[in-house]
Amino acid sequence: MSSPTNLFATVPKRSSRASAAPFLPMSRAEMDKLGWDQCDVIVVTGDAYIDHPSFGMALIGRVLEAQGFRVGIISQPDWHSADPFRALGKPRLFFGITAGNMDSMINRYTADRKIRSEDAYTANGEPNKRPDRTVTVYAQRAREAYSDVPIIIGSIEASLRRIAHYDYWSDKVRRSVLPDSKADLLLFGNAERAIVDLAHRLNAGENIKDIRDLRGTGFMVPAGWLPGDDWSVHNSTRVDVPGKVEAHPDPYAMAPEDKSGCATEAQAKEAEVVKPIRIMTREERQALAKEKHDKTVVRLPAYDVVKDDPVMYAHTSRVFHLESNPGNARALVQAHGERDVWLNPPPLPLQMDEMDGVFDLSYARAPHPSYGKANIPAWEMIRFSVNIMRGCFGGCTFCSITEHEGRIIQSRSEPSILREIEHIRDKTKGFTGTISDLGGPTANMYRLQCKDKKIEESCRRLSCVYPSICVNLGTDHSKLISVYRKARAIPGIKKVLISSGLRYDLAVRSPEYVKELVTHHVGGLLKIAPEHTEENTLTKMMKPGIGAYDEFKRMFDKFSLEAGKKQYLIPYFIAAHPGTTDEDMLNLALWLKKNNFQLDQVQTFTPTPMAMATTMYHTRKNPLHKVTEDSEVVETARSGKIRRIHKAFLRYQDPENWPLLREALASMGRGDLIGNTEKHLIPAPGGSIDDVTPSLRDGRRGIGRADKFAQPQKRNVPRGATSTPFVAPESKVRPSILSTIKTKAKPAAAAKGARPGRK
């Protein structure tokens, strides 16, 4: 596989390249002002153009600009004709097609498949500014506009649809986005390396049809195509055996001997070939094995097979995820009719200096002037925040980060982060001194990595922290603590908040970090995501037990008290996740009531393309283990009513949910939880929430609706009340997270007076 030595190794000297454009042009008038007669690359995006590294079109555009290419932006074009795709003229090298920062279907539809009223990535939140399955539609229109221009598709939408995948919105398995979009090349994951190399090779006159060796790319090829004669094909069943296992023949069975396949002695001598024995060193054997591994492609079951066979679909999902580590992943191929979709191994992660180079480019750090004073919700959310890393090794089955960014953490350097904070302070309008977030996909994975590079490159675990934290994972938070301290010491910075979701099972490994966080970086509320309380569901999510939450909460409360602050945790939960039963949701509701949480906004599981939880939803099989016809069946809430019931349990305090919950509790044989005292979950007909939750009397709601959860409060039963205190159902004792962490055993202390090394 080909990739540049360094992302910026081919950047021309500053004196020999044009200065950065104030904004990448969105019109011919802007091109004329810059003195351009033609764009080298035109990026077509489904988002409003915001020139900031948190937005994909700006990041890719500025990276290419730094390489000396002229990049234009077509933002949210009218897709009903090809004319808007001709707005900037014909690109010299290629069209780059992206749906934007979100998958277009998730962006437009709720978990209940209802159209959203607002699009956060559009000016003034206006909906319906992009088509469903944006990448496919834009690619087709760009092809209509200029049929001879290469079409390159990317973004998270393309990444999540690079092979045959279950599509929740049509409730069927769809083909890879490649044959549907008819694109020349698909870039998946963080594509800086691939797009830089691609642009230079096209600029040098290479044909797009001949570029087949870039990591992180996918393309269509004739059936059976291989890069060379020295390549071999492994069927996916050699990686993981699906289906029923055929019984081996009984060696003691009295069956007649079959000699049809035996050669005569004369034929054997005739076929005998004398080969010299070569003794190789260990290093030579390893190098030979690696070369053979790197020139092996794994053939996945064909689209025509997985669309109708749930077991083979689940098997495909499992193999796909096992081949996701850039250090050892092999190429994948999947037949789509008479042609194959070929996927090269994932892109190599960026090194720290490369990450710095990407984020230190000349971004305007603002929406394009053409939007005037329009409000763009996504911009308002992140304009005072700083992205310090990418990737996540958590491996949560419902999350798409693994399929897109990968499990290896890519971090920026401390000076680069501090420079961006200074840029926000000096250049971003409306800044009042508060940095809203220093984070990324996870708040506290900054610079955490495997202790041994060789182990990391050979690892095939789906998660570094499940079922326990790997002994080879570095969990030292000291570098992150240093960033926090230096960030808040910058003149003009009054407060640095942490808003990204916290991985609390890692945080408890570093009490110093928790103390630093709680004392200085929590603005009253801290988001964490236990997602559920029941082991049955958590094992399907690959999330730690609720004991991890309890451990972190003790530390959080302790350090908040020491700091003299009233602060609260905001836990997030998911309803209707695969593997969740009605009883699981009931137990979660009882846990919420016991802990006095009143959820205002809740999340229902949405099956995103290629996620492992989506595989469970579609196939009712568990791809976390070997998949067979007889393997574990994953119970899944698929009907609309059951999904509504599960969601209602999370908001048991909402009167609108009570009729549905009364019906559900009665059918579950738990009518004892309906009544008008504290021991009940919901009131009987004619009752009120005050009857079952006295702390809500007199309108004491705590935090408002916009803040996801009501504030936990002490129970305050009025004098003279005779209601029985709420008693949670008996449950298993939750172990401390510290007891689940695998650690290397320490040598026993030597007896007093004993010599070193002696027992």
List the structure tokens of 661: 């919950």
Total number of domains in the chain: 3
Task: Answer yes or no: do 496 and 529 share one domain.
Answer: no
Residue 396 known to bind ligand: yes
Task: Answer yes or no: do 547 and 630 share one domain.
Answer: yes
Q: What's the average model confidence in pLDDT over 736-743?
A: 38
Has residue 758 got a pLDDT over 60?
A: no
Residue 470 known to bind ligand: no
Has residue 134 got a pLDDT over 50?
A: yes
Task: Answer yes or no: do 218 and 75 share one domain.
Answer: yes
Residue of 267 and 550 predicted with greater confidence: 550
List the structure tokens of 140: 């087709």
Give the CATH number, domain containing residue 442.
3.30.750
Please give the pLDDT value at position 274. 57
Task: Answer yes or no: do 450 and 539 share one domain.
Answer: no
Asked if residue 725 belongs to a domain, the reply is no
481 contact partners, CB below 8 Å, separation of at least 6: 512, 513, 516
Split at pLDDT 50, 70, 90, the class of 612 is very high
Task: Answer yes or no: do 421 and 558 share one domain.
Answer: no
Q: What is the pLDDT of residues 389-400, one digit of tens each?
A: 999 999 999 999
Asked if residue 254 belongs to a domain, the reply is no
Task: Answer yes or no: do 429 and 496 share one domain.
Answer: yes
Task: Answer yes or no: do 531 and 487 share one domain.
Answer: no
Domain boundary at 673, 689, 705, which? 689
Segments of 568-706 assigned E as strands: 568-575, 603-604
Residues in the chain: 759
Residue 459 known to bind ligand: no
Q: What is the pLDDT of residues 443-493, one digit of tens each?
A: 999 999 999 999 999 999 999 999 999 999 999 999 999 999 999 999 999
Task: Answer yes or no: do 495 and 535 share one domain.
Answer: no
Split at pLDDT 50, 70, 90, the class of 287 is confident
Please give the pLDDT value at position 734. 41
| Three-state secondary-structure class, residue 390 | strand
Q: What is the pTM of this model?
A: 0.86
Residue with tokens 């070193």: 756
Task: Answer yes or no: do 660 and 563 share one domain.
Answer: yes
Question: What average pLDDT is seen over the chain?
Answer: 88
Task: Answer yes or no: do 150 and 181 share one domain.
Answer: yes
Domain boundary at 647, 670, 689, which? 689
Asked if residue 204 belongs to a domain, the reply is yes
Asked if residue 698 belongs to a domain, the reply is no
* Phi, psi torsion values for 430, nearest 5 degrees: 85, 0
Please give the pLDDT value at position 234. 93
Q: What is the pLDDT of residues 184-216, one digit of tens each?
A: 999 999 999 999 999 999 999 999 999 999 999
Has residue 156 got a pLDDT over 70?
A: yes
Q: What is the pLDDT of residues 18-45, one digit of tens each?
A: 789 999 999 999 999 999 999 999 999 9
Cα angle 724-730-736, degrees, rounded to a multiple of 5: 120
Has residue 753 got a pLDDT over 60?
A: no
Please give the pLDDT value at position 266. 52
CB 575 within 8 A of CB 650: yes
Split at pLDDT 50, 70, 90, the class of 270 is low
Residue with tokens 């990391």: 456
Residue 286 Cα to chain centre, angstroms: 33
Please give the pLDDT value at position 16. 61
Q: Which domain holds residue 449?
A: 384-501+509-514
Split at pLDDT 50, 70, 90, the class of 279 is confident
